[in-house]
Structure 1
Amino acid sequence: MYRSKVKTIILAGTASFLAFALVTFPATAVEASKDGLNTWWTIVFPSLLPFLILSEVLIGFGVVRFLGVLLEPVMRPLFKVPGVGGFVWAMGMVSGFPTGAKLTARLREEKQVTKVEAERLVSFSNASNPMFIIGAVSAAFFHNPKLGFLLAGAHYLANFTVGLCMRFYGVDEKIPKDKKSSKVPSLKRALRELHHTRLKDKRPLGKLLGDAVTSSIQSLLMVGGFIILFSVINRLLFHLQVTSLLAGFIDKFFELFSFSTALSIPFIAGIFEITLGSKLTSGVESSTLMQQAIVTSMILGFCGLSVQAQVASILAQTDIGFKPFFFARILQAIFASIYTYLFWDVFSANFLNDDKPAFAMPAFLEDQGWISQATQKWMEIGPTFTIICLSVYVVILFFRLPGKKRTV
């Protein structure tokens, strides 16, 4: 009871403090909201929507179950999750946050994974996508696409390590004989499961596609709200000097490792929002590139409270616990920074030493102009794509209103 009252006071006090800050700095809040909205409708929405819709369709058609049977002999021994976790893991890597959480929740709703298996799966199936690490962080922020190889390698290797660690989490439920993994993948059984899954989903194609679109857009609307909210919170905390106060404690930690204390404020910003933290880290001139890379790896691994709030909101709709995911993010931040440090000498000698490069970089990576052009083009068409998709979403909802039995 006492803990509950303390929690109530803390939550009420935090909300009141943020309300006071909004009233005190209205112009700052509006600008931060615009920045968050711009990020969402130019990059996040058009990047994630196709993957989410495609994932929903593949689940409905039974393709995910088909892949699950084939991947069972690999995923079960490594991570103690069903083979369908391989699909979730791959989609989470390619499309980025919070696709892994969305798909894990979907599989849990269909009872394709147990509660413990879902908590293991969600802990390592969420990661930054390669285009964000190489295009946004490395090319746009650091102006060095080569650095993306190190950051991405450390990020995904840390993610894999987290998966191996989380296999020891929880107590395994008894697996039915028909779901136990075999040593050799069975294509016949995979095809049978695909067919049975498709027959079980009695929705016609039009209904399945409509559900996929509405479900995906609803998730992205929630994601957009969190991006805007944390963009405002981050900016307000900076203006209220709260970020500087927290950075004072981080300074002591960085001094232990002989890091520049100027990295503390970007690190605090990265705890709240991954993009802003990475951008600020790249601009700290008093630190070495190695120190910037290590701090950026920590930020990418922790993924920011903004992304974690998105995941928590998705998981709240199921019985999947959030604490394992949060613990896994701390582990990934630690592992990613360690791997970046361990691989730095090799990376620096082979990719950053222009006098005697050990490996020749591909021409498309040496010339980073195409990355900037592609990013700029994507940002130009992003808002138009978002508006069109939202219009389609509104039309689908209109025809699903009670009394609207007509077909489109």
Structure 2
Amino acid sequence: MLRTFIHPLSITALVAFIIAVLMAVYPTETLHSSLRGLSIWWEVLFPALFPFFVISELLLGFGIVHFFGKLLDPLMRPLFRLPGIGGFVVTMGYISGYPVGARLTAQLYAQRLINRTEGERLVAFTTTSDPIFLIGAVAVGFFHNAAVAPVLAAAHYGGGFLVGLLMRYHERGSDSALAGTASLPRPQKLIRRSRITIALKAMHEARLLDGRGLGQLLQDSVQSALRLMIVVGGLVVFFSVVMEMLTHAGLVAALSEALRLLFSLLGLPAPLADAGINGLFEVTLGAKAAGAAGTGLMHQVAIAAWVLSWGGLSVHAQIASLLSRTDLRYKPFLLARLVHGLLAAGLVYALWGWLAPIH
């Protein structure tokens, strides 16, 4: 009987009810936090992500993804146990930031170009911050010190690369010998053929298989990107309100106090706890708090690297929303984020002697 009352759905319903009550108690704060989340979506996320979503759809329709898949197959398989087509997702994910990697992974899975295990491996290490946000917003905007960008980038993206290497051991027995059109054919008569020729042929075949004209493809790409952006915007606004309500309920302060105690036991500056708790929920708030912590630059950069690599529950909700349309599981992604955060923070300390900014 007790298990019935502590079912995860029951806990979720209770939390939702509490937040609804808090929203009724603090209507002004609810409105302001909603507007703040909407502003972040419209002024930052929409212009940053929408073009990448449209372009990714176009590249899939034109078969360019298949072209890169053929070229990168010999590199991706030995490193990450992924078909070469995953190299395109890695590139786009690292350039354009979360949640583009998950979006492309879900598309490849829907087209049966990768299997479930490969999709879970891929989304686990392609969910990263984009370089513009890392350098412009975090290093320059929050730390007011562009010199921290090299060590922060090395820790964040280096940690992602290490997660990719670790994820190659995820369900090794379920690897597919061929993953749709993404695998490189290796009959003996083709050994001497130019890899470029094979890649161009794959791109042409994919374009014929798609069959949509340029006008229809562009229309479909814009519509699909808009639908996804609305989902992203809704989640950003929702978590902005949730964060505000939890702050007024005193939960954020309680979590910060507990984390301060843990940091003290670990020998870390206690004021970093605020950045850690803010980053637990939302990347921008956590990175901003890290830049203003004033506990020593090395520790501040380390917690910022953790925040960027963890991604915040807002990003997690976006990824979970994308994965819910497929058979890809959220748990491997969650574990990968935890590992990525720890690796990134550790890499800051390991690399600080070589990449530390000059004062």
Please, what TM-score do these two structures have when normalized by structure 2? 0.94
Residue equivalent to 1:140: 141
Residue equivalent to 2:89: 88
Q: Does 1:248 align with 2:248?
A: no
Q: How does 1:133-282 map to 2 (within 5 A)?
A: 133-170=134-171, 171-176=173-178, 179=183, 186-282=195-291
| CA spacing shift, 1:207–1:4, aligned 2, 3 Å | farther
Residue equivalent to 2:126: 125
Aligned residues: 350
Distance in 2 separating the partners of 1:230 and 1:176: 40
Match 1:293 to one of 289, 295, 301? 301
Residue equivalent to 1:31: 32
Deviations 1:256-282 (A, max 9, x none): 332221221221111000100111121
Letter matched to residue 82 of structure 1: P
Deviates more, 1:186-195 or 1:45-54: 186-195
Distance in 1 separating the partners of 2:178 and 2:254: 54
Distance in 1 separating the partners of 2:343 and 2:167: 13
Q: Contact 1:76 / 1:181 at 8 angstroms: preserved in 2? A: no
Letter matched to residue 199 of structure 1: L
Superposition RMSD in Å: 1.8
By how many angstroms is 1:346 displaced? 2.2
| CA spacing shift, 1:2–1:204, aligned 2, 3 Å | farther
Percent same amino acid at aligned positions? 39
Distance in 1 separating the partners of 2:306 and 2:184: 37
Residue equivalent to 2:12: 11
Letter matched to residue 323 of structure 1: K
By how many angstroms is 1:39 displaced? 0.8
Distance in 2 separating the partners of 1:76 and 1:2: 48
Deviations 1:381-408 (A, max 9, x none): xxxxxxxxxxxxxxxxxxxxxxxxxxxx
Residue equivalent to 1:109: 110
By how many angstroms is 1:119 displaced? 0.5
Q: Contact 2:310 / 2:341 at 8 angstroms: preserved in 1? A: yes
Q: Contact 1:72 / 1:181 at 8 angstroms: preserved in 2? A: no
Deviations 1:47-94 (A, max 9, x none): 111111111101001110011011000001100111111000100011
Distance in 2 separating the partners of 1:24 and 1:147: 42
Deviations 1:185-218 (A, max 9, x none): 7222211111110000121111110010010111
Distance in 2 separating the partners of 1:59 and 1:146: 37
Q: Does 1:306 align with 2:314?
A: yes
Q: Does 1:352 align with 2:354?
A: no
Distance in 2 separating the partners of 1:241 and 1:168: 41
Please, what TM-score do these two structures have when normalized by structure 1? 0.83
SS in 2 for 1:261: coil
SS in 1 for 2:212: coil
Q: Does 1:330 align with 2:346?
A: no
By how many angstroms is 1:251 displaced? 1.7
Letter matched to residue 248 of structure 1: E
Distance in 2 separating the partners of 1:126 and 1:3: 35
Letter matched to residue 22 of structure 1: M
Q: Contact 2:63 / 2:204 at 8 angstroms: preserved in 1? A: yes
Distance in 2 separating the partners of 1:174 and 1:197: 20
Distance in 1 separating the partners of 2:11 and 2:285: 26
Residue equivalent to 1:45: 46
Distance in 1 separating the partners of 2:223 and 2:328: 23
Letter matched to residue 262 of structure 1: P
Letter matched to residue 172 of structure 1: S
By how many angstroms is 1:100 displaced? 0.3
Distance in 1 separating the partners of 2:202 and 2:151: 40
Residue equivalent to 1:386: none
By how many angstroms is 1:232 displaced? 1.1
Distance in 2 separating the partners of 1:278 and 1:295: 8
Distance in 2 separating the partners of 1:31 and 1:258: 37
Distance in 2 separating the partners of 1:57 and 1:193: 16
Letter matched to residue 54 of structure 1: I
Q: Contact 1:73 / 1:181 at 8 angstroms: preserved in 2? A: no
| CA spacing shift, 1:303–1:21, aligned 2, 3 Å | same
Distance in 2 separating the partners of 1:176 and 1:42: 42
SS in 1 for 2:174: coil
Distance in 1 separating the partners of 2:300 and 2:214: 49
Deviates more, 1:41-50 or 1:254-263: 254-263
Q: Does 1:317 align with 2:308?
A: no
Distance in 2 separating the partners of 1:213 and 1:8: 35
By how many angstroms is 1:237 displaced? 1.2
Q: Contact 2:115 / 2:176 at 8 angstroms: preserved in 1? A: no
Deviations 1:348-378 (A, max 9, x none): 3xx324xxxxxxxxxxxxxxxxxxxxxxxxx
Residue equivalent to 1:372: none
Distance in 1 separating the partners of 2:169 and 2:13: 37
By how many angstroms is 1:180 displaced? 5.3
Q: Contact 1:297 / 1:340 at 8 angstroms: preserved in 2? A: yes
Letter matched to residue 228 of structure 2: S
